[in-house]
Amino acid sequence: MHETSEHAVHQHAPPTSFIRKHIFSLDHKVIGKQYYGLALLAVFIGMVLSWLMRIHLAWPTWPIPGLDKLSAVGAPAGVMTPEYYLSLMTMHGTIMVFFVLTNAPFAAFGNYFLPIQIGAEDMAFPRFNMMSFWTTFTAFLVMIAAFFVTDGPPISGWTAYAPLSAVGKDAGPGLAMGQNLWAISIAIFCIGSLLGALNFIATTLDLRTKGMSLSRMPYSTWAWFVTAVISLLAFAVLLPACILLILDRTAGTSFFIPSGLVLSDRLQPHAGGSVLLWQHLFWFFGHPEVYIAILPSIGIVCHILPVFARKPLLGPRATIGCMIAIGFLSYMVWGHHMFVSGMNPFSANLFSVPTLIITIPATILTLLLIGTVYGAKMRFTTPALFCLGFISVFISGGISGFFLAQPSLDTYLHATYFVVAHFHFVMAVASIFGVFAATYFWFPKMYGRMMSDTLGKWHFWLTFIGVYCIFMPMHYLGLAGNVRRYSAFVDDYLIALIPVHKFITIAALATGAAQLIFLFNLIWSRFRGPIAPDNPWEGTSLEWSTTSPPPFDNFGGRHMVVYQGPNEYGVEGTANDYVMQTSPEKIVTG
Amino acid sequence: MGKLFAAVVFVITLISVAIFVMHTWWLPIDISTTGPAVDRQMNDTMIGTGILFLAGQLVLGVFVWGSSSRKSGRKIRIFPGGATPLVTAAIILVGLEILTLTFVGSKAWGAIYLTPPAANSLRVDVQAEQFAFYFRYPGPDGQFGGLHPDKIDDGSGNYFGLDPANDIAARDDIVVGSLVVPVNRPVELTLHSKDVGHSFYVRELRVQQDFVPGLDIPLHFTATQTGKFEIVCTQLCGLGHYNMKAYLEVMPEDQWEQWLKSQAGQ
């Protein structure tokens, strides 16, 4: 059944020492788990930061126990200062976008499962792979170090708009060493991501096993591949942008700083720079980054949903076409973040139209997922619920895009909580739902043990209802003109909205607490979960053709040959209702 | 479990939509000539996307409900016609929505940002700094004095960096902390920033525009109602961002002229 394939030749021997096995490992599976662990640590920090922010917004005078230990200056007696709020906000956004949403759905699961799903024994460049994780880890340490410098983390937001981010300490607290560490960390992160992206692309193109044509690749692999291409182009722009920012801050250059600026009563010694240049470079990365966060989760859901629907995904070619279209269009729309930035207002129309056009492939993907649910024999496991939840939150987040893509409405809604609601739903929550689905789905493969389905379902329901309670009201706040990035609401019309903020804060604390169920389930199942069979969900793709967990070389010396697409569910006339990708049997369609 | 999922999605969807429909939290009154077009566009988009939202969530719920049926011997069913009708529907429906929104919406945008200000506009210069707005009127000579960043001195109230000793035009410039304008007269603002990025946002005018350090950014509007409205900063500008605000005061023309005279006399 399994023939020898010239591609599947292992490039390195199994390690024997603890360090090479678990720390500086070349094995893509270990590296995938390392990325997952890093994302888990990062999401925990990011979530606690959001709790602190939410408590401060709802009850600004409440002392938060222990916060003064983290920063005596930023939170004297536990009550945070306005600048410390902005520091925590900057770190929340940065940590979540870079170290969670980029790492978890793409780097973590992609690393672990892309090689297995295409029948390879490892990534194309295992040393690069190890390097990209440790580079990313270094970036994380540098970012976290910003908490411990004298005046705290930067206050310029995850977008680090110049000149606030570029002129240094004269612009305010956190903008000296804190902002330096931010820029250095992101530059290092870019290097790690570029290495990772190259590796994903090379692996997908070169290491597919015999019979694994592009059209037979699982949707998750397709999504990781398209995401890698987007990453390669996006981080290649952010890296030089960060280097220029570092030079402006430390070497006296003026890429982003024009002449004639007076800060802290001091005429700044800069001339000739362009403030909008930073915004163009940042958003040329920043918008594709949204798709770097969401596409892997779309692919994961397209991969998982058919397994539990027990029927093939509707429109496989359209699905892949839409992913590619979204990737392509993601490079033409960055200006929609800049409608009111002072950029030539004629260009607003130019950026608005492709932005609206992206809603077409996004709508098609959503409809195909909904159409897949039609007439299914759904098995309501935890990963299936998270897939269905994904569809719901993706609709909710996508819909508000129609508003923000229009310059004439953005002029009212820009920089309000409407935007916060939009990107949290479509980019953060949807992406994280994909990560949850992936975790419950692949955990048995990764650790050889099942996760608790009962705890998983509790986790799902509390999270699903919770995220709606947190983010749906933010649309109403945005419509009322509630500006984001305010550390307190002192304007007359904003004071009237504080009760809504209190509701959101309570929902955020409860939803956050529900994540402890997930954490407990993860740790408990790792050691105490029931032993997982090789193919617990009756899936077809190659990861289910090997042991749980897979051996060091993924297939125990076997060279897999692929005969089918990944989508053969609900097949009649076979022993089961599905046909594995490795099964040579002929499928009679009728 | 499928029925529970469907029920939860229905409840969430209906509550969410009801709050939108009831306008529990909504845009404030509109006081500008360009605002009604923005509000119309907002309403049209709300209706169009509201239908998509309702349809998407409800159909998802209905299908999930159906997929949980435990009827014995039930076979899976493929969506009638496969993917083609869905892809076609998405392209046509969303395509039409996009075309409509773009054609109608670009007019609303154009009226604010692409139409030159009227010739009789009242010109006001705006300087934003951490964390305040200052407004400058040209004074009786109708000329603004030049700006010299090296002369900026908040201590002596020289927020714009004027040089009255050497610049005649600057001598009668009026600098105040509120934007006071006559009702129904076009106003042309020029936005400068002293230090970092800021933004000019008046909800009731339905306009928002960033201040870009190094650039002079034009913005114009005509207020149609008298009253006092908040101008807030919407571009993250530092620790006092949340507290950076000023007032827009719209007065009858004669009252405004008196106000201007009283300011010029000071």
- How does DSSP classify residue B1? -
| Whole-number average pLDDT of chain B | 94
B192: nearest CA partner in chain A: A261
Question: Is A359 near chain B, with CB under 8 Å?
Answer: yes
Give the pLDDT confidence score for residue A574 in this predicted structure.
Answer: 76
| A132, A134, A136, A141 alpha-carbon torsion, rounded to 10° | -170
Contacts of B101 in chain A (CB under 8 A): 356, 402, 406
Tell me the residues of chain B between 194 and 213 that have a Cβ less than 8 Å away from chain A: 194-197, 199, 201, 203, 206-213
User: How would residue B264 be classed by pLDDT, with cut points 50, 70 and 90?
Assistant: confident
- Cα distance between residue A474 and residue A454, in whole Å: 31
| Residue B227, Cβ density class (10 Å: 0-12 exposed, 13-18 middle, ≥19 buried) | middle
CA of A55 to nearest chain B CA: how many angstroms apart? 17
pLDDT in tens, A416-427: 999 999 999 999
Tell me the residues of chain B between 234 and 253 that have a Cβ less than 8 Å away from chain A: 234-243, 245
**B223 SS3 class:** strand
pLDDT at A4 over 50: no
A276: nearest CA partner in chain B: B212
Give kind and range of the element (H or E) at residue A550.
Answer: none
Question: Is B142 near chain A, with CB under 8 Å?
Answer: no
Q: Does domain A31-257 have CATH number 3.20.20.150?
A: no
pLDDT in tens, A95-109: 999 999 999 999 999
pLDDT, average across residues A245-273: 96
Give the pLDDT confidence score for residue A14 in this predicted structure.
Answer: 83
CA of B38 to nearest chain A CA: how many angstroms apart? 6
CA of B42 to nearest chain A CA: how many angstroms apart? 7
A473: nearest CA partner in chain B: B16
- Cα distance between residue A87 and residue A95, in whole Å: 12
Query: Do the chains contact at A341 and B210, CB–CB below 8 Å?
Result: yes
Query: Do the chains contact at B94 and A318, CB–CB below 8 Å?
Result: no
The DSSP string of A393-445 is HHHHHHHTHHHHTSHHHHHHHTTBHHHHHHHIIIIIIHHHHHHHHHHHHHHHH
pLDDT in tens, B2-59: 999 999 999 999 999 999 999 999 999 999 999 999 999 999 999 999 999 999 999 9
Contacts of A488 in chain B (CB under 8 A): 242-243
Pairing of strands B207-211, B217-222: unpaired
Tell me the residues of chain A between 23 and 52 that have a Cβ less than 8 Å away from chain B: none
Most confident of A14-18, A470-474, A573-577, B115-119: A470-474
Of residues B20, B38, B150, nearest to A408 (C-beta) = B38
Of residues A374, A475, A296, the one with CA closest to residue B81? A374
Of residues A83, A348, A409, nearest to B42 (C-beta) = A409
pLDDT in tens, A427-438: 999 999 999 999
Query: Do the chains contact at B64 and A309, CB–CB below 8 Å?
Result: no
Of residues A155, A263, A391, nearest to B239 (C-beta) = A155
Question: Is B114 near chain A, with CB under 8 Å?
Answer: yes
pLDDT in tens, B62-96: 999 999 988 877 888 999 999 999 999 999 999 99
Residue A283: which residues within 8 A CB-CB, separation 6 or more?
A334, A335, A337, A338
Distance of CA A421 to the CA centre of its chain: 16
| Residue B29, Cβ density class (10 Å: 0-12 exposed, 13-18 middle, ≥19 buried) | exposed
Q: Between chain A and chain B, how many beta carbons pairs sit less than 8 Å apart?
A: 309
Neighbouring CB atoms inside 10 A of A268's CB total: 23
Query: Do the chains contact at A402 and B97, CB–CB below 8 Å?
Result: yes
User: How would residue A8 be classed by pLDDT, with cut points 50, 70 and 90?
Assistant: very low
Q: Which among B109, B159, B233 is the top mutation candidate for probing chain A, defined by the most A β-carbons within 10 Å of its own β-carbon? A: B109
Query: Do the chains contact at B12 and A265, CB–CB below 8 Å?
Result: no
pLDDT, average across residues A508-515: 97
Query: Do the chains contact at B25 and A258, CB–CB below 8 Å?
Result: no
| Residue A480, Cβ density class (10 Å: 0-12 exposed, 13-18 middle, ≥19 buried) | buried
Give the pLDDT confidence score for residue A6 in this predicted structure.
Answer: 47
Q: Decide: A181 and A149 in contact? Cβ < 8 Å.
A: yes
Query: Do the chains contact at A342 and B211, CB–CB below 8 Å?
Result: yes
Is the bond into B131 cis (omega within 30 degrees of 0)? Answer: yes
Query: Do the chains contact at A487 and B76, CB–CB below 8 Å?
Result: no
- Cα distance between residue A374 and residue B66, in whole Å: 7
Q: Which among A86, A159, A262, A396 is the top mutation candidate for probing chain B, defined by the most B β-carbons within 10 Å of its own β-carbon? A: A262
Is this structure's pTM higher than 0.90? yes
pLDDT at A12 over 90: no
| A184, A189, A195, A201 alpha-carbon torsion, rounded to 10° | -140
Is the sign of the CA dihedral B101, B105, B107, B110 positive or negative?
Answer: negative
Give the pLDDT confidence score for residue A588 in this predicted structure.
Answer: 63
Neighbouring CB atoms inside 10 A of A66's CB total: 9
For residue B153, give Cα distances in angstroms to A8, A255, A266, A560, B179. Answer: 71, 26, 10, 75, 21
User: How would residue A283 be classed by pLDDT, with cut points 50, 70 and 90?
Assistant: very high
Query: Do the chains contact at B91 and A497, CB–CB below 8 Å?
Result: no
- Cα distance between residue A446 and residue A451, in whole Å: 11
pLDDT, average across residues A214-232: 97
Contacts of A503 in chain B (CB under 8 A): none
Angle between helices A219-250 and A275-309 (to 10 degrees): 160
Give the pLDDT confidence score for residue A10 in this predicted structure.
Answer: 56
Tell me the residues of chain B between 66 and 105 that have a Cβ less than 8 Å away from chain A: 66-68, 74, 76-79, 82-83, 86-87, 89-91, 94-95, 97-98, 101-102, 105
Query: Do the chains contact at A81 and B9, CB–CB below 8 Å?
Result: no
What percentage of chain A has pLDDT greater than the value 90? 91
pLDDT at A145 over 80: yes
CA of B84 to nearest chain A CA: how many angstroms apart? 8
Residue A151: which residues within 8 A CB-CB, separation 6 or more?
A73, A169, A173, A174, A176, A177, A178
Of residues A587, A222, A365, A569, the one with CA closest to residue B83? A365
Give the pLDDT confidence score for residue A13 in this predicted structure.
Answer: 75
pLDDT at A590 over 80: no
CA of B138 to nearest chain A CA: how many angstroms apart? 22
What percentage of chain B has pLDDT greater than the value 90? 88
ipTM over 0.95: yes
**B256 SS3 class:** helix
Tell me the residues of chain A between 287 and 346 that have a Cβ less than 8 Å away from chain B: 309-311, 314-315, 318, 340-342, 345-346
Q: Decide: A238 and A292 in contact? Cβ < 8 Å.
A: no
Give kind and range of the element (H or E) at residue A371.
Answer: helix A346-373
pLDDT, average across residues A556-565: 92
pLDDT in tens, A63-82: 999 999 989 899 999 999 99
Q: Which two tokens stand for residue B178?
A: 């509120």
Of residues B98, B112, B230, nearest to A411 (C-beta) = B112
Contacts of B47 in chain A (CB under 8 A): none
Query: Do the chains contact at A275 and B214, CB–CB below 8 Å?
Result: yes
**A41 SS3 class:** helix
pLDDT at A187 over 90: yes
Q: Decide: A450 and A443 in contact? Cβ < 8 Å.
A: yes
pLDDT at B266 over 70: no
User: How would residue A571 be classed by pLDDT, with cut points 50, 70 and 90?
Assistant: confident
| Whole-number average pLDDT of chain A | 94
Of residues B45, B94, B161, nearest to A409 (C-beta) = B45
Of residues A501, A346, A521, the one with CA closest to residue A451? A521
What are the domain boundaries of chain A?
31-257
pLDDT, average across residues B137-152: 94
Question: Is A510 near chain B, with CB under 8 Å?
Answer: no
- Cα distance between residue A531 and residue A529, in whole Å: 6
| Residue B97, Cβ density class (10 Å: 0-12 exposed, 13-18 middle, ≥19 buried) | buried
User: How would residue A562 be classed by pLDDT, with cut points 50, 70 and 90?
Assistant: very high
Pairing of strands B179-182, B245-251: parallel
Angle between helices B35-67 and A346-373 (to 10 degrees): 20
The DSSP string of B5-18 is HHHHHHHHHHHHHH
Give the pLDDT confidence score for residue B73 in this predicted structure.
Answer: 77
Give the pLDDT confidence score for residue A509 in this predicted structure.
Answer: 97
pLDDT at A1 over 60: no
Q: Where are the beta strands (DSSP E) in chain B?
A: 122-129, 132-137, 174-176, 179-182, 186-193, 198-202, 207-211, 217-222, 227-232, 245-251
CA of A464 to nearest chain B CA: how many angstroms apart? 9
Q: How far apart are the first and last CA of chain B?
A: 74
pLDDT, average across residues A499-520: 97
Give the pLDDT confidence score for residue A275 in this predicted structure.
Answer: 97
**B178 SS3 class:** coil
pLDDT, average across residues A554-576: 89
The DSSP string of A137-180 is HHHHHHHHHGGGSTT-S-SSTTTT-TTTTTS-GGG-TTTTHHHH
Using the structure block, give the residue that is written with the tokens 């000071």.
Answer: B266
